[in-house]
Amino acid sequence: MLDHTTSEITPRKALRVNPAKTCQPIGAMYAALGINRCLPHSHGSQGCCSYHRSHLTRHYKEPVMASTSSFTEGASVFGGSPNLRQSLKTIFQTYDPDVVAVHPTCLSETIGDDIPTIVKKASEDGIVPRGKWVIHASPPSYAGSHVTGFSNMVKGMVDYFTNKGEKKVKGQINILPGYVEPPDMRKLKSMVAEMGLTPVGFPDTSDVLDTPKTGHYEMYPPGGTKGEKLLTTGASEYTMAMGHFSSKDPAAHLELKGGVPFTLSDTPIGVQATDRFYQGIMEATGAEIPKAQLDDRGRLVDMMTDYQHYLYGKKVALWGDPDQVISLAEFMSDMGMQPVCIITGTPGKIFEKRLKAILEGKALMPVIAQKQDLFYLHQVIKKQPVDLLVGNTYGKYIARAEDTPFVRFGFPILDRAGHSYFPSVGYKGGIHLLTSIVNTLLDRQDRDAPDERFELVL
């Protein structure tokens, strides 16, 4: 399909081919699902909500519930206030959520609907029942990416739930995980709990988009952080925020609104990023890393050593969400691999700056680009062929065209299983990720080996 992609790169300002991102409301919807008994609400046309739900459903293979204001031509001209008021009335009467998380789409953002005022009036008129919450964020599709939308919705949670002046709860810390998978969120909570601390994770999509099969349908799965718990985020002693793009703004807003200091860390993928995660918690709380985690670190380093001869010097191209890609590039560099091209579709100059700092002094400085697409990446590796591709499902066309091994990582993964059940964060997550990388390279080695080099033991 992409066999005729040329290596000649022409600057493109207004055109994206095979984008390395998707739109803000998807990230906002995903974040909202991390609140217990929360119904995400798409304030816009019905088609927008359907697309966002289907994209998340295809990735997680779980039903994603959300509602919509169902804009028609009339709402587009006269405003969506009546649609939102009627939607909230129907939602609370029929579906009885504890929280409704409103995210406007392009249409409602463009006409300028004043969501806080509409919600306030609905509450005064008794449309929003007592003890229920309606929160909102502003994530238009024509700016940022799904990572930006996620960040905006988490910031919205801080706006509506965090209170200043709360009496501090000893040992309680907020965990802002960034845009990660449900098993990553579960792993992060357990890593903090093993240090003797009480984590408040938000959002927390574990046990929401990876629920067990029970034979009984539940519109609101048991997972997610409860609204009552979110109200205590201002009482936490500290906040650990992971990922500059997805967690910095919410963490800074939480510090301003709730008086809770924070440490910003990279997403803990690989050895060094996980080390920094633990170091941040130790410096803030005085807690110690449990021996079990140190043992897992040793196992990861041991595996990196055992398979060094298969990894060293291998050239790799990476793409995806910036917070994850930054840590992933560092991890691969630590394993002796050489990132050749690293791109993200999310805008933000810190991406290039952070990667250059991490990879400084390496033999090969890669092509680094933010706000780019996979067509650009394909053109780069046409000039500089790689041994491995690592990124989301949309790279499979490049992998086929260039006959290059491919490890699926990030969001979305639409054509493989297991990504929503196994964590990538922490030392154990690193072991799982390293296993996928090594086995993919070994599969290719076996496929290409002549008879005399086709070994049983590697």
- The length of the chain in residues reads 458
Tokens in use for 161? 């739930």
| CATH classification at residue 224 | 3.40.50.1980
Query: Does residue 187 register a pLDDT over 90?
Result: yes
pLDDT value for 80: 76
131 with 249, same domain?
no
Strand bridging mode 38-43 / 198-201: unpaired
pLDDT value for 5: 82
Q: Which domain holds residue 314?
A: 295-452
Residue 242 domain flag:
yes
Tokens in use for 83? 């649609």
Query: Does residue 365 register a pLDDT over 90?
Result: no
284 with 381, same domain?
no
For residues 259 and 165, is the Cβ–Cβ distance under 8 A? Answer: yes
pLDDT value for 324: 97
Last residue of a domain, one of 291, 313, 332: 291
The percent of residues in the chain predicted with pLDDT above 70, rounded, is 99
233 with 277, same domain?
yes
Query: Could you give the CA distance from residue 422 to residue 432 in angstroms, rounded to a whole number?
Result: 8
272 with 373, same domain?
no
Strand bridging mode 367-370 / 338-344: parallel
Give the chain's domain count.
3
How much is the average pLDDT of 423-444? 96
How much is the average pLDDT of 248-266? 95
pLDDT value for 127: 95
Query: Does residue 300 register a pLDDT over 90?
Result: yes
**Secondary structure in 3-state letters for the chain:** CCCCCCCCCCCCCCCCCCECCCCHHHHHHHHHCCECCEEEEEECCHHHHHHHHHHHHHHHCCCCCCEECCCCHHHHHHCCHHHHHHHHHHHHHHCCCCEEEEEECHHHHHHCCCHHHHHHHHHHCCCCCCCCEEEECCCCCCCCCHHHHHHHHHHHHHHHHCCCCCCCCCCEEEEECCCCCHHHHHHHHHHHHCCCCEEEECCCCCCCCCCCCCCCCCCCCCCCECHHHHCCHHHCCEEEEECHHHHHHHHHHHHHHHCCCEEEECCCECHHHHHHHHHHHHHHHCCCCCHHHHHHHHHHHHHHHHCHHHHCCCEEEEECCHHHHHHHHHHHHHCCCEEEEEEECCCCCHHHHHHHHHHCCCCCCCEEEECCEHHHHHHHHHHCCCCEEEECHHHHHHHHHHCCCEEECCCCCCCCCCCCCCCCCHHHHHHHHHHHHHHHHHHHHHHHCCHHHCCCCC
Residue 329 domain flag:
yes
Residue 5 domain flag:
no
Residue 243 domain flag:
yes
Question: Please, what is the average pLDDT of the chain?
Answer: 92
Tokens in use for 163? 């209170």
Question: Going by C-beta distance under 8 Å and a sequence separation of 6 or more, which residues neighbour residue 356?
Answer: 365, 368
**Top mean-pLDDT range of 114-118, 340-344, 447-451:** 340-344
pLDDT interval class at 316 (50, 70, 90): very high
pLDDT value for 143: 83
Residue 385: Cβ-neighbour burial (10 angstroms; 0-12, 13-18, 19+): exposed
Residue 7 domain flag:
no
For residues 70 and 94, is the Cβ–Cβ distance under 8 A? Answer: no
Instruction: Express each pLDDT in 40-64 by its tens digit.
Output: 999 888 888 888 999 999 999 999 9
pLDDT value for 75: 66
266 with 366, same domain?
no
312 with 272, same domain?
no
Q: Which residue has the higher pLDDT, 263 or 166?
A: 263
Lowest-confidence region among 85-89, 91-95, 161-165, 198-202: 161-165
Residue 192 domain flag:
yes
444 with 385, same domain?
yes
Residue 1 domain flag:
no
277 with 387, same domain?
no
154 with 182, same domain?
no
Query: Does residue 133 register a pLDDT over 90?
Result: yes
Last residue of a domain, one of 260, 291, 322: 291
Instruction: Express each pLDDT in 70-113 by its tens digit.
Output: 887 776 667 778 889 999 999 999 999 999 999 988 777 777 88
pLDDT value for 443: 94
152 with 194, same domain?
no
333 with 229, same domain?
no
260 with 365, same domain?
no
Last residue of a domain, one of 291, 316, 341: 291
Query: Does residue 1 register a pLDDT over 90?
Result: no
Query: Does residue 383 register a pLDDT over 70?
Result: yes
Residue 166 domain flag:
no
